[in-house]
Structure 1
């Protein structure tokens, strides 16, 4: 009888993964049947331990604790009942401990498997986060390159275009044609030099490399005004305060605001004149560029023409230093204004 019970228990173990609780209950019932006949069946206890391990390995901890407690109590009580029929077997305590050990081992295996799954998922999420961060940095770098290319090329190309038109219309006046061609040559050299510096920076493998040319800033306003004056734009510059108090990114952004405003005045403004106001205080820098407009520009503004790439990039630059910028048609013409926080203390 005991041999049959052991064989049946072994057969039950074949389906323990599909029905872990019924298999465990069946093995306990077989152990009870063997005990009722006065037979101690360690083989069935081994089957109970295997079934308990399988249940703990595939169930929650709560289910495992309840099932293990019930199984251990059942094995002990059935062993006591078997002791009534035959002599008490001192191994009944070992049977109970075997069930408890199997439950603990199954729970530990399940916990380790869940831990490995959690670590794997965490690593995958971290990899996805790194990829997303890399894509974000690439996108930001593309925007930065686009802004730098526009700032480097746009106003010089505008100078070349306007002077080329002036030269073609002044062929009968050699002096004007000569001045226009000289401006074209100067602008071409400048843009080639700036593009060369930018390409050198993009090609370098050193992330901390810098362009050797002096960075643009409010200290180079006279040079900027002179370039536009050579192109036929009369610029009136007024500076209030000490530009030397401004430094870092704010200085660069302020320069680009003025550069963009003068470029637009040269390309789209009327009367070939513009006014630039730079006001430096202890905590901020205000930059205002105004110029008369032509009717076509007013009509475009009224119709809600789209903002060009230059103004779009300028807004991004100003936002990067937590400044504010506004532009549009006013009573006196076109106005571009920005207020930037100062990043450099003046001399004490």
Structure 2
């Protein structure tokens, strides 16, 4: 199991080519001042008086507010242009300011609204130009203002589309990173659960054998030394077995790849007699009945069936009464049923449910669910019963 690292998108440094926010306002102010005071061949482009000059220069103070109130600034600039035209002045600086306001508005709204606002602003600008006694609305001096605003609207929509595209790409990359992180966490969680199940299956039975025989040895050491020696021998054998199984498990976990690891024999119903013999050596009398052919159960279902028997016999050995248990394995055409029953202590309130963390049954339910099976555990007429039904894949059946 590897250590997961949080995957992060590299921070993109600010583009040095991107101009600062105040630069467009400074450039517009420069254009407005030059258009107001530079000599021009056409008299209608020059301010006709102090009022017209004030109107021509007013965009310098109005345009910076476009970031906060883009629509209001656009309307106000159109009024300024119309007022200057009524005074006999067609100000190129005010026209450029209107184009900047349209551009900014187009970057903040949808394409439909941007085109509508740009078209209306271009038409109004051309109509307001007639107040300067230019003559025809198709005069090149009038058309240039409409083209300027239309181009600004198109450029603003293009900038908005590009910004939306970049944002979509960034969001997609972030979602991809998040998905990879979630997948890594899911795999780590599944690996932890698998290791926990393997450790429980490997250790639980042998530790219960050690615990029970340690109790027998401590009580019989003075009265029955031979019994105590027998229990100590059983403890020694169980300890060797659990150390070997843990060593095999750790070797498998530390292997760099599956090809370099030595495969362990796969547990299954074929090893049922050996499993029963281990419990018999530990003092549990197990009666086994197999109906059908266990060879028909292969793959994951075979392993899970073995683990069901192992977990049920471990609980019967630890918590059962009279040291007896019955195992029934019924193999049908489409499913295998594993049932393990044992006697339980009966008190005044009925069956005494054994104390414990219950992690063994939790892990067992997870194993059974992984092969689409069902498991049920609880009191039964014969004592305590654990029964699991596991579907058999026909493709795996020989």
Give the one of 206, 212, 215 matched to 2:266.
215
8 Å CA contact 2:251, 2:261 repeated in 1: no
- For residues 82 and 323 of structure 1, what CA distance do their matches in structure 2 show? 88
Give the one of 79, 83, 93 matched to 2:143.
93
8 Å CA contact 1:328, 1:336 repeated in 2: yes
Give the one of 352, 358, 382 matched to 1:300.
352
Name the CA shift for 1:305/1:162 in 2 (closer, same or farther; >3 Å). closer
Give the one of 81, 94, 104 matched to 1:31.
81
2:367 is aligned to 317
Give the one of 238, 241, 245 matched to 1:187.
238
Structure 1 residues 21-52: Cα deviation after superposition (integer angstroms, max 9, x where no partner):
23222322333334334444322221211121
Task: Please say if 1:82 is aligned against 2:132.
Answer: yes
Task: Please say if 1:258 is aligned against 2:258.
Answer: no
8 Å CA contact 1:38, 1:83 repeated in 2: yes
2:197 is aligned to 147
8 Å CA contact 2:102, 2:153 repeated in 1: yes
2:60 is aligned to 10
Aligned pair count?
Answer: 345
Q: CA deviation at 1:263?
A: 1.0
Query: In structure 2, the residue corresponding to 1:274 is in which secondary structure?
Result: strand
Give the one of 180, 187, 198 matched to 1:137.
187
1:120 is aligned to 170
Query: In structure 1, the residue corresponding to 2:140 is in which secondary structure?
Result: coil
Task: Please say if 1:52 is aligned against 2:102.
Answer: yes
1:68 is aligned to 118
Task: Please say if 1:163 is aligned against 2:213.
Answer: yes
Structure 2 counterparts to residues 197-276 of structure 1, below 5 A: 197-206=248-257, 212-276=263-327
- For residues 138 and 288 of structure 2, what CA distance do their matches in structure 1 show? 110
8 Å CA contact 1:80, 1:88 repeated in 2: no
Could you tell which deviates more after superposition, 171-180 or 88-97? 171-180
Q: CA deviation at 1:193?
A: 1.1
8 Å CA contact 2:286, 2:326 repeated in 1: yes
Show structure 1 runs of 5+ residues with no match: none
1:284 is aligned to 335
Could you tell which deviates more after superposition, 52-61 or 237-246? 52-61
Q: CA deviation at 1:151?
A: 0.8
Query: In structure 2, the residue corresponding to 1:256 is in which secondary structure?
Result: helix
2:383 is aligned to 333
- For residues 288 and 296 of structure 2, what CA distance do their matches in structure 1 show? 18
Query: In structure 2, the residue corresponding to 1:239 is in which secondary structure?
Result: strand
Name the CA shift for 1:207/1:54 in 2 (closer, same or farther; >3 Å). farther
Q: CA deviation at 1:225?
A: 0.9
TM-score normalised to structure 2 length: 0.78
8 Å CA contact 1:274, 1:292 repeated in 2: yes
Query: In structure 2, the residue corresponding to 1:16 is in which secondary structure?
Result: helix
Give the one of 110, 114, 124 matched to 2:160.
110
- For residues 281 and 165 of structure 1, what CA distance do their matches in structure 2 show? 42
Q: CA deviation at 1:88?
A: 7.7
Q: CA deviation at 1:84?
A: 4.5
- For residues 391 and 267 of structure 2, what CA distance do their matches in structure 1 show? 18
- For residues 306 and 331 of structure 1, what CA distance do their matches in structure 2 show? 23
Structure 1 residues 164-220: Cα deviation after superposition (integer angstroms, max 9, x where no partner):
333444545565444433322221121111111221222234377766321211111
Show structure 2 runs of 5+ residues with no match: 1-46
Query: In structure 2, the residue corresponding to 1:232 is in which secondary structure?
Result: coil
TM-score normalised to structure 1 length: 0.88
- For residues 87 and 299 of structure 1, what CA distance do their matches in structure 2 show? 100
8 Å CA contact 1:38, 1:85 repeated in 2: no
